[in-house]
């Protein structure tokens, strides 16, 4: 059996990055001519076939949508997929899913693989590493070859494509205003590092809500969690950080957490320190997943409507696939969030 060589193998063989191989095969001017020729010669020798999306599009439609998401053990992404599936199935499309595991290389490899004749277009949310590297060549080149992409949740301005996002800033603001109205005087935020756009926007919403109510922002009440390690241990690290936060700032009476796992962990740590929820401490999370609904007390949270995000993304993509437009256009749809009040607030 003749094996098909992969991008990864070429990269390893020539001791360059997967991005370099990918760019060289697409003849990107970013890569030196020398390297481009070396990569192409090697690819030819080992019978690697670069994507030829345009060609495959001319010949057939697969009626399949490719989804690429950063991780699968995540309620929000599962709900988005449900929403995509429902619309896709109704319109006679199938769905296949690839995972980037928050890795840039895996994102590139998955896109190459799926774009190679298996699908008609992509719905995707970027990996954290891609956001950090700010290397978007694989998206831009896929689009320029005629295969549409719809991005959701984690998006960047630099890419011209349809986008579906939640109003992270407004959603966060709603949550923090609720805490202020409920008489919280010292509100902490548990958020991500700034390179995650949704974390950054939610932090901004927190600051704007405080400002508009003439409350000073206290930098010691902003905890930016480093979750680059996607391991189960990082919850233990978070618990330790939260314990320190509460012990050093005993007057904290409200917490806004940018995801539900952070919020649940806040409640757990606070309870261990003898704080009653919601009497001594009110907590609001973001993302309405199973944890929020089944925790004790149940969690007040900003609901993102993941299923709706998926449904809208699928509609946008199928619209692009089925109606050839004279003009190039890109839609950005903002899905409104909703504050679901439960037992963790007064």
Which residues are at the interface with its own copies (CB under 8 A)?
A: 1-4, 6, 8-9, 57-64, 72-73, 75, 78-79, 81-82, 85, 89, 92, 94-99, 101, 106, 109-110, 113-114, 117-118, 264, 268, 290-291, 294-296
What minimum distance in Å lies between the beta carbon of 215 and its own copies? 31
Q: Crossing angle for the helix pair 7-14 and 33-45, nearest 10 degrees?
A: 120
Place of tokens 């080149």: 141
Kindly tell me which of 140 and 298 has the beta carbon lying closer to its own copies: 298
Kindly tell me which of 117 and 195 has the beta carbon lying closer to its own copies: 117
The span from the first CA to the last CA of the chain, in angstroms, equals 67
* DSSP helix/strand/coil, 194: coil
Contacts of 117 (CB under 8 A, 6+ apart): 56, 62
What minimum distance in Å lies between the beta carbon of 200 and its own copies? 26
What minimum distance in Å lies between the beta carbon of 46 and its own copies? 12
* DSSP helix/strand/coil, 282: strand
d(CA 229, CA 35) in angstroms, rounded, equals 33
What minimum distance in Å lies between the beta carbon of 15 and its own copies? 17
**How do 332-335 and 338-340 pair as beta strands?**
unpaired
Kindly tell me which of 118 and 144 has the beta carbon lying closer to its own copies: 118
What minimum distance in Å lies between the beta carbon of 110 and its own copies? 7
b/e burial code for range 96-128 (CB count within 10 A of at least 16 → b): ebbbbbbbbbbbbbbbbbbbebebbbbbbbbbb
Kindly tell me which of 146 and 250 has the beta carbon lying closer to its own copies: 146
Kindly tell me which of 115 and 126 has the beta carbon lying closer to its own copies: 115
Measured in degrees and rounded to the nearest 5, phi and psi for residue 223 equal -105, 115
Kindly tell me which of 92 and 274 has the beta carbon lying closer to its own copies: 92
Kindly tell me which of 4 and 133 has the beta carbon lying closer to its own copies: 4
What minimum distance in Å lies between the beta carbon of 221 and its own copies? 24
CA-only gyration radius of the chain, Å? 23
d(CA 116, CA 142) in angstroms, rounded, equals 11
What minimum distance in Å lies between the beta carbon of 64 and its own copies? 6
What minimum distance in Å lies between the beta carbon of 204 and its own copies? 29
Query: DSSP for 197-249?
Result: HHHHHHHHHHHHHHHHTT----GGGEEEE---S-STTHHHHHHHHHHHHHHH-
Kindly tell me which of 110 and 197 has the beta carbon lying closer to its own copies: 110
Q: How far is CA 238 from CA 130, 224, 251, 276, in A?
A: 24, 10, 20, 20
């Amino acid at each position: 059996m003749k094996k098909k060589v992969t991008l990864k193998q070429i990269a390893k063989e020539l001791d360059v990055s997967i991005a370099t191989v990918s760019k060289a095969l697409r003849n990107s001017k970013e890569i030196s001519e020398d390297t481009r020729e070396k990569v192409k010669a090697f690819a030819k020798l080992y019978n690697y076939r670069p994507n030829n999306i345009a060609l495959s599009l001319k010949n057939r439609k697969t009626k399949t949508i490719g989804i690429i998401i950063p991780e699968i053990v995540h309620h929000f992404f599962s709900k988005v997929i449900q929403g995509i599936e429902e619309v896709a199935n109704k319109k006679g499309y199938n769905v296949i899913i690839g995972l980037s595991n928050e890795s840039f290389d895996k994102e590139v490899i998955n896109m190459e693989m799926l774009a190679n004749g298996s699908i008609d277009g992509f719905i995707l949310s970027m990996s954290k590493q891609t956001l950090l590297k700010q290397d978007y060549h694989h998206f831009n080149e896929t689009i320029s070859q005629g295969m549409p992409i719809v991005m959701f949740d984690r998006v960047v301005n630099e890419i011209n494509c349809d986008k579906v996002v939640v109003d992270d800033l407004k959603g966060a603001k709603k949550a923090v205003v609720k805490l202020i109205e409920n008489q919280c005087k010292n509100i902490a935020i548990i958020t991500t590092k700034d390179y995650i756009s949704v974390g950054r926007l939610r932090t901004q919403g927190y600051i704007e809500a405080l400002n508009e109510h003439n409350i000073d922002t206290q930098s010691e009440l902003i905890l930016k969690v480093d979750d680059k390690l996607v391991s189960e241990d990082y919850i233990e690290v978070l618990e330790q950080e939260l314990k320190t936060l509460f012990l050093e700032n005993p007057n904290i009476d409200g917490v806004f957490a940018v995801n539900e796992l952070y919020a649940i962990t806040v409640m757990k740590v606070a309870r261990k320190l003898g704080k009653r929820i919601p009497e001594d401490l009110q907590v609001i999370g973001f993302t309405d997943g199973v944890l929020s609904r089944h925790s004790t007390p149940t969690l007040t949270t900003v609901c993102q409507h993941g299923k709706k995000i998926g449904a809208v993304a699928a509609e946008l993509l199928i619209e692009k696939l089925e109606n050839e437009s004279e003009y190039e256009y890109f839609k950005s749809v903002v899905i409104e969030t909703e504050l679901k009040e439960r037992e963790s607030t007064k």
